[in-house]
Amino acid sequence: MTRKLFGTDGIRGRTNAGAMTAAMAMKVGQAAGRHFVRGGHRHRVVIGKDTRLSGYMMESALVAGFTSVGIDVIMTGPLPTPAIALLTREMRADLGVMISASHNLFADNGIKLFGPDGFKLSDEAEIEIERLIDTDIPLAPAELIGRARRIEDARGRYIHAVKQSVAAELRFDGLKVVVDCANGAAYQVAPSAIWELGADVVALGVTPNGTNINDGVGSTAIAALQAKVVEEGADIGIALDGDADRLIVVDEKGRAVDGDQIMALIAGRMQDRGSLTGGGIVATVMSNLGLERYLGGRGLDLVRAKVGDRYVLEAMKAGGYNVGGEQSGHMILLDYATTGDGTVAALRVLASLVRSGKPASELLHVFDPVPQLLKNVRYEGGKPLENAQVQAVIAEAEASLAGKGRLVIRPSGTEPVIRVMAEGDDQGQVEQVVDAICEAVRAAV
């Protein structure tokens, strides 16, 4: 059985359309609640959200769903996705829910689920929840309906937890850091955590109004951060996305540093300290060939997983790795968190900056990336990758890159687009290959 509602990162879509309605959220709450009933104790769920307008509606619907099947609900208000994973485990909850569409604009929303261990659900668990949604789920007797409450100290708990990823004796005094929170879930906690460690913080994207999340700010729109870093003469810039599970960095010259470079930095420094496990790291098929070559030069492996941080996590757990992530900025550091945590990764980068005494432009550009190009082709229906002409063009491209580069073509798990990526030592060839495939896909749709 395949998943119909769940994509690569939970359920996501346009609010008040398709799967992202209040009615569906209530059903998800009922089904997930029923799936996680285990034993005779009072069951509980932790629910967090980002700052988008529809979060109130989705939160209320989920609360109705969970309480109707006898699950008690703890609401945290706006908090990063990794904070919900943390609190789910720390509060001995039976599951956790994050209401967020990550880096998407405000009109979209999503539902991410965590098990009692703080890890995202397996494909099998999501399939079972989908099956339950299509059944008549028994409701709790009137006297056993769940209770709901809000907790006021969730932000402080998370700030305290992420600061533990930095050595107790280390301070960020003397660092000027621009922190862009995308008007999203970390708008209070990330600047506070960095400031508490001694840095001079300049905050961007910290005035959410329900509709400005990820709008011209955050890890997918870094121009404002780049300009601010240069304008302020800052040492470094930190960009999070709407739910703060990913990180992009900007050096003091305003140049972007992606997830591949961040992983290279963190892995190399951990290898030097003897704390890197598994003999390498886990990334995805989208990570740059330059990262693979750099790690190989240090005697480390690069294991490639499917796109999606939970697939990275599965490979990490299977191989005993404690560092993994995605080029897009998801950083999973299992010594400190059970899922991608942009704030934890940022603190690790800042700690390295302090210890090295080097400028960010020198420290963070660890390897020379191979020319890489990614383009998206939007489509409305059908299966363009099954078109004979598209397959012929792809085969020709693969043959031309053999031994000189890589080609990755995949449908997005969160929106109706085909992603076409190629990389190789010849920039012109890379561009030619990507353009040819994109044109073939457009013709097919």
Q: pTM value?
A: 0.90
Task: Give me the half-sphere count of Cα atoms (radius 13 Å) on the Cβ side of residue 234.
Answer: 27
Give the contacts of 440 (CB within 8 A, at least 6 positions apart). 387, 389, 390, 393, 394
122 has catalytic annotation: no
> Could you tell me which of 298, 404, 308 has the C-alpha nearest to residue 9?
308
In order along the chain (445 residues), what is the average pLDDT of each group of 10 residues?
A: 80 94 98 92 97 98 98 98 97 97 96 96 93 95 97 96 95 97 98 98 98 97 98 98 97 97 97 97 95 97 92 95 96 96 98 97 96 92 88 93 89 84 93 95 87
Domain assignment of residue 204, yes or no: no
Domain assignment of residue 194, yes or no: no
Say what the pLDDT of residue 445 is.
77
CATH number of the domain within which 115 lies: 3.40.120.10
Q: Which residue has the tokens 């700052």?
A: 51
Say what the pLDDT of residue 363 is.
97
CATH number of the domain within which 395 lies: 3.30.310.50
Say what the pLDDT of residue 38 is.
83
Select from 152, 171, 189 the last residue of a domain. Answer: 152
Select from 152, 179, 204 the last residue of a domain. Answer: 152
Select from 152, 185, 210 the last residue of a domain. Answer: 152
**Domain that residue 34 falls in:** 11-152
Angle at 259 between CA 252 and CA 435, to 5 degrees: 105
| Catalytic residue (choose from 102, 192, 328, 352) | 102
Say what the pLDDT of residue 2 is.
67
Contact 286, 327 (CB under 8 A): yes
Domain assignment of residue 17, yes or no: yes
Number of domains in the chain: 2
Structure confidence by residue, pLDDT tens digits, 319-328: 999 999 999 9
Contact 366, 261 (CB under 8 A): yes
Domain assignment of residue 86, yes or no: yes
Structure confidence by residue, pLDDT tens digits, 323-360: 999 999 999 999 999 999 999 999 999 999 999 999 99
Say what the pLDDT of residue 205 is.
98
Contact 220, 226 (CB under 8 A): no
